[in-house]
């Protein structure tokens, strides 16, 4: 092991293993995860090529091969539990994706959520064994997050009891679905249902697109790959054009809405239930944000402990991580990664809890969960996106090379800001919920859950525009006090946004125009609300930690997360008279102190994430810290190094020289 890293690990004040247990959920889960990981690592069937040196079509082929092996091995290892599947795939996929991924993450869950028992019986078994490879085709070339704008139609023909699926325009061509281009033979297609001459909005249909056996596109189907992307190179994101293509009536997913053989439309009991998959995927993305950020952070911090750049003092080359500016870049990101880990597991638990109540017919918590996941999905993916890029930049020039692994992490993660609901649209959905809650509070209703702080608004406690009510005593080392001031900031910005919305509405007639003219402020308010939620959940988590050493270590991360946030958004806290200038000075000073406090534990804190090198896919972030030898070995594998003299020399350089 590299001596620098050995020193770092020896100097840590806590045992990272204990934090690993906390992140996994229990020591038993950590044990089981490692057991699975070690099985994979010792299995010769998992010798796969390094994606970085492959062309796009080679990567596609390698990914398909890997998926096939994974299916086989999961059967062999008896892995079926969702957590275990996740661990299994996380290790093997590393920073990449699998073309059959949507079969598992969208096709099957949608079938389970929206299909009748008969439909599940028919489709579920073949799709788990990949006889049917399904994808989920919602987005069209001209239409994304705004669902109602989709143009694909499904017109019912009672004579033959079929739906005619049609893509009427260029903009209606299904565009982007993963695995659609070359891999899938079925797609769940979202289309406008038309029956008895009337449009009933979007419904889901199972559409066969390729012939089982030959894998050739079926007549009436035009399907293909949408071309190269920023990342996802191994994924065949595709397009799909359906030309008055007929499918049987039974292919409409009919657990909720139905079309009778004669064409009669039967409305679903509640349209909220179809939210299910969407809410699940979005709450999952919060956890994904935490994972990607944690990986990037592991790489950058380990590398910074190994890299010796300039000298703080002549003759004493210090590792990069001793530079205050480097700590200031990386440690707040480390704290954020921990915050999001805890928020991610909270979201997962909440989803399962609420899903159970839904099962028992209780839908009361669904609106808040829906609003919470939308906003937090946007908040965490935006923050993680910026954080990953910051980690890459903190690795200097080598961060730009694929050897660092961070470019792959970035390009694989960044679509999360636009897919499953574009982030600005997500923020505004949560804003709509917050405005509704605000109105309820104004009309004297008591609200519950994470928005309950808005109950205090009408009373004298929070008066956003008045000077000198605040600050009260702010203890910048106290989690409760910090949570409180984030709450005040959120309340103030929500109040301002609501008032300016009302103001715009009194000037203009249309609600939509007023909404648009307030939207920048609404996004700002929602951002503050989400920030408060993250701070609160992190503070709550601290209370649940038994071990005093671990609690102390995480408490410092909590303080850094909250105080750094205040220092970045100092304007909000000053303008609302939540804090004074001299308190801000204290905050800034305390942030710098915390950097020094966290410094000795930095490497141990990323070790606690417990990523195997294969998952990180990084030469710079190796556990053993032997960066440079391996960097050289890695470069030698570059396809351009296969010959000593590159052909371009003969073709272009030679003639260039001889022309003169």
Partner 1 sequence: MSSRAHRVSLGDSWSQRVHPDIESERRRQAFDVERLTNLLDRGARNTTLRREVESLFRSDPAFSLVNTYFMTQKEHFQAAAQKRFLLHKMAQRLNWPEDGLEIDYARRALSGDIILGVHTVATKAIISLGSEEQIAKWVPLCKTYQIIATYAQTEMGHGSYLQGLETEATYDAATQEFVIHSPTITATKWWPGDLGCLATHAIVMAQLICSGAKRGMHAFVVPIRSPQDHTPLPGITAGDIGPRMGLENADNGFLQLDHVRVPRENMLSRFAQVLPDGTYIRCGTAQSNYLPMVVTRVDILTSVVLPSLQKACVIATRYSVIRRQGRLRPSDPEAKILDYQTQQQKLLFPLAMSYAFHFQAVSLLEFFQHAYNAVQSNDTSLLPELHVLTTGSKAMMTDFCAYGVELCRRACGGHGYSKLSGLPSLATQVVASCTYEGENTVLYLQVARFLMKNYQQIWETEGAHSQRSLPQSVQYFTMVHHDKCPAQNASDFLLPEIYTTAWAHTAARLVEDSARHLQVLTQSGADQQDAWNQTSVSLVQAAKAHCYYVTVKSFQDAVKKLDSEPAIQLVLKRLCDLFALHGILADSGIFLYDGFLSGPQVDMVRTAYLDLLSLIRKDAVLLTDAFDFTDQCLNSALGCYDGNVYERLFQWAQMSPNNNSQENPAYKKYIQPLIRSHGSKL
Handedness of CA 157, 159, 160, 161 (dihedral sign): positive
E-state strands within 243-393: 245-248, 258-259, 265-266, 308-313, 316-319
Residue of 121, 393, 442, 480 that binds partner 1 (CB under 8 A): 393
Residue of 160, 264, 309, 472 that binds partner 1 (CB under 8 A): 309
262 binds partner 1 (CB under 8 A): no
312 binds partner 1 (CB under 8 A): yes
Q: 303 vs 609, which CB is nearer to partner 1?
A: 303
Residue of 41, 68, 80, 118 that binds partner 1 (CB under 8 A): 68
Pattern of binders to partner 1 over 400-429, x per CB under 8 A?
xxxx---x---x--xx-xxx--x-x---x-
Give, in order, the Cα–Cα distances in Å from 581 to each of 16, 473, 562, 572: 38, 14, 17, 12
DSSP secondary structure, 29-92, as one string: HHHHHHHHHHHHHT-GGG----GGGS-HHHHHHHHHHHHHHHHHHHHHHT--SHHHHHHHHHHH
Residue of 21, 33, 143, 531 that binds partner 1 (CB under 8 A): 143
Shortest CB 498 distance to partner 1, Å:
15
546 binds partner 1 (CB under 8 A): no
# binding residues, partner 1 (CB under 8 A): 132
Site for partner 1 in 271-300 (CB under 8 A): none
**Pair 205, 188: CB distance under 8 Å:** yes
Asked if residue 421 belongs to a known ligand binding site, the reply is no
Token readout for 266 is 């039967």
Residue of 304, 325, 380, 503 that binds partner 1 (CB under 8 A): 325
Spatial separation of the C-alpha atoms in residues 23 and 33, rounded to whole Å:
12
Active site residue 420: yes
Residue of 201, 472, 520, 624 that binds partner 1 (CB under 8 A): 520
637 binds partner 1 (CB under 8 A): yes
439 binds partner 1 (CB under 8 A): no
Spatial separation of the C-alpha atoms in residues 336 and 538, rounded to whole Å:
10
DSSP 140: B
**Pair 177, 139: CB distance under 8 Å:** yes
Shortest CB 452 distance to partner 1, Å:
27
471 binds partner 1 (CB under 8 A): no
Site for partner 1 in 101-130 (CB under 8 A): 129-130
204 membership: H or E segment, kind and range: strand 198-208
- Stretch touching partner 1 by CB under 8 A, among 143-151, 157-165, 193-201, 362-370: 143-151
Q: 59 vs 370, which CB is nearer to partner 1?
A: 59
77 binds partner 1 (CB under 8 A): no
Token readout for 335 is 């704290």
- Beta bridge partners, 199, equal 194
Which residue is it, tokens 């299994």?
88
Shortest CB 512 distance to partner 1, Å:
5
Q: 15 vs 52, which CB is nearer to partner 1?
A: 52
Kindly report the number of other CB atoms within 10 A of residue 352's CB atom: 11
* Cα 592 → chain centroid: 30
Spatial separation of the C-alpha atoms in residues 256 and 252, rounded to whole Å:
11
> What does the angle CA 516 – CA 518 – CA 519 come to, to the nearest 5 degrees?
65
Q: 50 vs 264, which CB is nearer to partner 1?
A: 50
User: For residue 471, is the peptide bond before it cis, meaning its omega torsion is within 30 degrees of 0?
Assistant: yes
Handedness of CA 37, 40, 41, 47 (dihedral sign): negative
Q: 449 vs 649, which CB is nearer to partner 1?
A: 649
Spatial separation of the C-alpha atoms in residues 392 and 300, rounded to whole Å:
7
Kindly report the number of other CB atoms within 10 A of residue 53's CB atom: 15
Residue of 569, 597, 612, 613 that binds partner 1 (CB under 8 A): 569
Site for partner 1 in 163-202 (CB under 8 A): 170-171, 173, 175-176, 181-183
Residue of 28, 35, 311, 362 that binds partner 1 (CB under 8 A): 311
Shortest CB 486 distance to partner 1, Å:
15
390 binds partner 1 (CB under 8 A): no
Calculate helix-pair angle for 3-11, 275-306, nearest 10 degrees: 110
Pairing between β-strand 174-175 and β-strand 238-242 as defined by DSSP bridges: antiparallel
Shortest CB 296 distance to partner 1, Å:
14
Q: 75 vs 352, which CB is nearer to partner 1?
A: 75
Identified catalytic residue from 8, 140, 389, 420: 420
Sheet holding 238-242, edge to edge: 174-175, 238-242, 221-225
Residue of 574, 613, 614, 623 that binds partner 1 (CB under 8 A): 574
Q: Which residues are annotated as a binding site for FAD?
A: 139, 178
Catalytic (active-site) positions: 420
Q: Which residues are annotated as a binding site?
A: 139, 178
């Amino acid at each position: 092991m590299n001596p620098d890293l050995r020193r770092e690990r020896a100097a840590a004040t806590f045992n990272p293993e204990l934090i690993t247990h906390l992140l996994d959920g229990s020591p038993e889960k950590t044990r089981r995860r490692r057991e699975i990981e070690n099985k994979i690592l010792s299995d010769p069937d998992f010798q796969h090529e390094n994606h970085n040196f492959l062309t796009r079509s080679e990567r596609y082929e390698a990914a398909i091969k890997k998926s096939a092996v994974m299916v086989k091995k999961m059967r062999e290892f008896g892995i079926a539990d969702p957590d275990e599947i996740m661990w299994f795939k996380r290790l093997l996929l590393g920073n990449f994706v699998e073309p059959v991924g949507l079969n598992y993450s969208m096709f099957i869950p949608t079938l389970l959520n929206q299909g009748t028992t008969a439909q599940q019986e028919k489709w579920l078994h073949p799709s788990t064994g990949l006889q049917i490879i399904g994808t989920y085709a919602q987005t069209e070339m001209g239409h994304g997050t705004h669902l109602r704008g989709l143009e694909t139609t499904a017109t019912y023909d009672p004579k033959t009891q079929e739906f005619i699926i049609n893509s009427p325009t260029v903009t209606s061509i299904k565009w982007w679905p993963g695995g659609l281009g070359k891999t899938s033979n079925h797609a769940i297609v979202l289309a406008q249902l038309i029956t008895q001459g009337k449009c009933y909005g979007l419904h889901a249909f199972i559409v066969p697109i390729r012939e089982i056996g030959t894998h050739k596109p079926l007549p009436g189907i035009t399907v293909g790959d949408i071309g190269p992307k920023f990342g996802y190179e191994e994924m065949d994101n595709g397009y799909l054009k359906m030309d008055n293509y007929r499918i049987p009536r039974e292919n409409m997913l009919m657990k909720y809405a139905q079309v009778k053989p004669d064409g009669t439309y039967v409305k679903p009991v509640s349209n909220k239930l179809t939210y299910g998959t969407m809410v699940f995927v979005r709450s999952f993305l919060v956890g994904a944000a935490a994972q990607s950020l944690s990986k990037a952070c592991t790489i950058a911090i380990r590398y910074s402990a190994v890299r010796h750049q300039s000298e703080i003092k002549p003759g004493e080359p210090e590792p990069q991580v001793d530079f205050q500016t480097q700590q200031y870049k990386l440690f707040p990101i480390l704290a954020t990664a921990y915050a999001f880990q805890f928020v991610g597991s909270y979201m997962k638990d909440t989803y399962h809890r609420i899903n159970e109540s839904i099962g028992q017919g209780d839908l009361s918590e669904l609106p808040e969960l829906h609003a919470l996941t939308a906003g937090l999905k946007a908040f965490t993916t935006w923050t993680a996106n910026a954080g990953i890029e910051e980690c890459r930049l903190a690795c200097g020039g080598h961060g730009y090379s694929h050897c660092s692994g961070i470019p792959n992490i970035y390009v694989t993660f960044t679509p999360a800001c636009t897919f499953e609901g574009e982030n600005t649209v997500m923020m505004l959905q949560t804003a709509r919920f917050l405005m509704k809650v605000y109105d309820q509070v104004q009309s004297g209703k008591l609200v519950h859950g994470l928005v309950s702080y808005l109950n205090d608004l009408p009373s004298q406690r929070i008066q956003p525009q008045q000077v000198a009510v605040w600050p009260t005593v702010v203890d910048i080392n106290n989690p409760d006090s910090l949570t409180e001031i984030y709450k005040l900031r959120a309340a103030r910005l929500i109040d301002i946004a609501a008032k300016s919305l009302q103001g715009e509405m009194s000037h203009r007639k249309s609600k939509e125009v007023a909404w648009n003219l307030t939207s920048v402020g609404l996004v700002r308010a929602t951002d503050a609300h989400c920030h408060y939620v993250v701070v609160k959940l992190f503070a709550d988590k601290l209370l649940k930690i038994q071990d005093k050493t671990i609690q102390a270590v995480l408490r410092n991360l909590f303080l850094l997360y909250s105080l750094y946030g205040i220092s970045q958004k100092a304007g909000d806290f000053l303008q609302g008279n939540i804090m004074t200038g001299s308190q801000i000075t204290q905050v800034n000073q305390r942030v710098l102190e915390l950097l020094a406090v966290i410094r000795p534990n930095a490497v141990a804190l990323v070790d606690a994430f417990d990523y195997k090198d294969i998952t990180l896919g990084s030469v710079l972030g190796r556990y053993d810290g032997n960066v440079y030898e391996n960097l050289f070995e890695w470069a030698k594998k570059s396809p351009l190094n296969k010959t000593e003299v590159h052909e371009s020399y003969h073709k272009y350089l030679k003639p260039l020289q001889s022309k003169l």
